[in-house]
């Protein structure tokens, strides 16, 4: 994958920033995207040579189209951008709250993936990595009495389904499409993550592993940051 090109959404902070850092260290050129151009440029200055800033708001069709027009060829897409609300059960959450989360975590992934598919089809080894969450596992949720973070968790369950659908749809074209459960990480996702999360770089290593899969690697899988299988 030397000299390959990757694009990471939400790369100005947290796990996305660490994914960009590790991909550059592996010899790739990385488009580090951010909604705010100034923050994106600041992150690129820190990440250094091999990264390029690219403004991209995954909830804005015009921003997505403009970004895609600047990337004619692409090998790896990491759908990392994600948001979360407070720890609310579905009976306490509003429809607007669900809609706000889904705009980024679900609809944004579809819009960005579809916009960059023409560029990915130029690659001999196209890879898509969706940053999901083990809290989106329906199997694990069925064994738990917890119903908090309903908007976030259900959005990740939807993202997992999309991962399977894209994997099946694009398999004949050589794509590897997988989802990663990064574990609770020290990021600005929510108060729990900020207070109790682990090192984002550890999760990023799992994403990079999926981004650099060989041609005989898995597709349509849901893997934890440590490489173990997560039940759907």
3-state secondary structure of 112: helix
Q: Which helix (H) or strand (E) holds 95?
A: helix 95-102
CA distances from 34 to 8, 126, 220 (A): 9, 22, 27
Asked if 166 is an active-site residue, the reply is no
Asked if 152 is an active-site residue, the reply is yes
The structure tokens 């720890």 sit at 87
CA distances from 95 to 74, 153, 205 (A): 36, 15, 35
**CA nearest neighbour of 74 among 42, 22, 33, 36:** 33
3-state secondary structure of 38: helix
Of residues 152, 166, 176, 209, which has the active-site annotation?
A: 152
- Please give the full DSSP string across 81-145, using - where no structure is assigned: ------S--TTTS-HHHHHHHHIIIIIHHHHHHHHHHHHHTT-SS-EEEEE--GGG-HHHHHT--
Of residues 17, 102, 156, 166, which has the active-site annotation?
A: 156
Distance of CA 145 to the CA centre of its chain: 27
Q: Which helix (H) or strand (E) holds 101?
A: helix 95-102
Annotated active-site positions, please? Answer: 152, 156
């Amino acid at each position: 994958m030397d000299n390959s090109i990757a694009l990471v959404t939400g790369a100005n902070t947290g796990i996305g920033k660490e994914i960009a850092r590790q991909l550059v260290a592996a010899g790739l050129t990385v488009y580090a995207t951010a909604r705010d151009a100034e923050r994106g440029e600041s992150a690129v200055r820190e990440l250094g040579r091999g990264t390029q800033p690219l403004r991209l708001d995954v909830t804005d069709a015009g921003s997505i189209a403009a970004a895609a027009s600047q990337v004619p060829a692409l090998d790896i897409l990491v759908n990392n951008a994600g948001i979360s609300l407070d720890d609310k059960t579905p009976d306490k959450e509003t429809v607007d709250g669900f809609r706000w989360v889904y705009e980024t975590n679900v609809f944004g992934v579809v819009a960005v993936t579809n916009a960059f598919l023409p560029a990915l089809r130029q690659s001999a080894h196209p890879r898509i990595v969706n940053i999901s969450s083990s809290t989106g596992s329906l199997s694990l949720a069925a064994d738990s009495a917890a119903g908090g973070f309903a908007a976030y968790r259900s959005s990740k369950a939807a993202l997992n389904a999309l991962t399977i659908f894209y994997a099946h749809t694009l398999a004949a074209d050589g794509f590897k499409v997988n989802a990663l459960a990064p574990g609770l990480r020290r990021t600005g996702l929510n108060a729990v993550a900020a207070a109790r999360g682990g090192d984002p770089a550890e999760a990023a290593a799992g994403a990079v592993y999926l981004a650099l899969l060989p041609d005989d690697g898995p597709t349509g899988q849901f893997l934890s940051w440590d490489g173990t299988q997560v039940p759907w």
